[in-house]
Amino acid sequence: MAIPLLITLLFISFASSPLAKAAQYSVLSYGAKPDGKTDSTKAFAAAWSQACASTQPATISVPKGSFSLGQLRFQGPCRNNAILLRIDGTLVAPSKYGVIGNANNWLMFEQVNGVTISGGTLDGQGAGLWSCKNSGKDCPNGATNYCPGGKNCPGQVSGVKISDVTYQDIHGSSATEVAVKFDCSKKYPCTGIKLEDVKLSYKNQQAEASCSNVGGAASGLVQPNSCLKT
C-alpha cells in the first residue's frame, strides 16, 4: 500500500530516556477505534492537543490495530519540545481517494519542535488513485509526501521553522515518485533533521528524495538516498 507521507520513527530505550517520565495520552481515551473503519481523526487531534498543551514531556500512545484517519494537522507551537507519538498499530488513510482529493498532505506537523514518532505502519491506500491515473482519467493529485508546514514548508509568509525531527525505521511505498521531500524556505531553513533506517519505494522501484534549504544527517540504510546537507 502507498503512504503519501513520510513520518518520524524512532526507537527509544525508556530506561534511560527523559520521556520515561512523560505524561501519557492514549488515543483510545479520546474515542479512537482500532477497527480500521471508524473515523478516529478527532480522537487523534484531541490527544495531540493535550500533549501539546502539557508543560512536561508527553507521549501519545497508539496501540495495535488499524486506525482510520482523514486529513490531520498536528499543530504547534507546543508548550514542551519532547513529544513522542508511539505507534504500535497502523494509520489508514480514507479508502476513497476523493476524500483527500488535491490536498497537499494527509498528515501534517506544523510549527512543532522536538517531535518523535516511533514505530507503526502508514497505509495511504494509494492503489485506487494509481489505478485512476494509469487509466488516463482526470484524477486528483492526491496527498504528497512529507512537507513541513504544507505551503513551502515552512515558508516566509508563515515564518515556520522545523528543527530537531528524527525519522527512523520507516518502511513502505510512496504514492509519488518523490518519496522524501523537504521544502523549506531560505529565511527559515529546516535544521537538525535525521533520517535513520528508512526504506521507501515507488511502484516497487527506487524512489527519489528532494531537499530545499534543509540540513541534517542520515545513518543506516536510507532509501531513497538522502539529500540532506550536513
Longest alpha-carbon distance in the chain = 53
226 DSSP assignment: P
79 DSSP assignment: S
Question: Could you tell me if 79 and 52 are in contact, meaning their C-beta atoms sit under 8 angstroms apart?
Answer: yes
Range with the lowest mean pLDDT among 6-20, 77-91, 183-197? 6-20
Backbone angles phi, psi at 11, to 5 degrees: -85, 130
Q: What is the mean pLDDT of the chain?
A: 77
Looking at residue 188, its pLDDT comes to 67
- Please report, for the chain, the start and end positions of each structural domain, with discontinuous segments joined by +: 2-161+176-188
Looking at residue 78, its pLDDT comes to 92
Question: Which whole-number Å values give the CA distances from 112 to 80, 115, 117, in the listed order?
Answer: 9, 7, 13
Question: Could you tell me if 52 and 78 are in contact, meaning their C-beta atoms sit under 8 angstroms apart?
Answer: yes
102: buried, middle or exposed (CB in 10 Å: 19+, 13-18, 0-12)?
Answer: exposed
97 DSSP assignment: G
Q: How much is the pTM?
A: 0.63
Looking at residue 161, its pLDDT comes to 56
pLDDT tens digits, one per residue of 1-55: 333 333 333 332 222 234 447 899 999 999 999 999 999 999 999 999 999 999 9
pLDDT tens digits, one per residue of 103-117: 667 888 888 878 877
- Residue 130 one-letter amino acid: W
The DSSP annotation for 19-30 comes to: GGG-EEEEGGGG
Q: Where are the alpha helices (DSSP H) in 104-229?
A: 127-134
Looking at residue 174, its pLDDT comes to 74
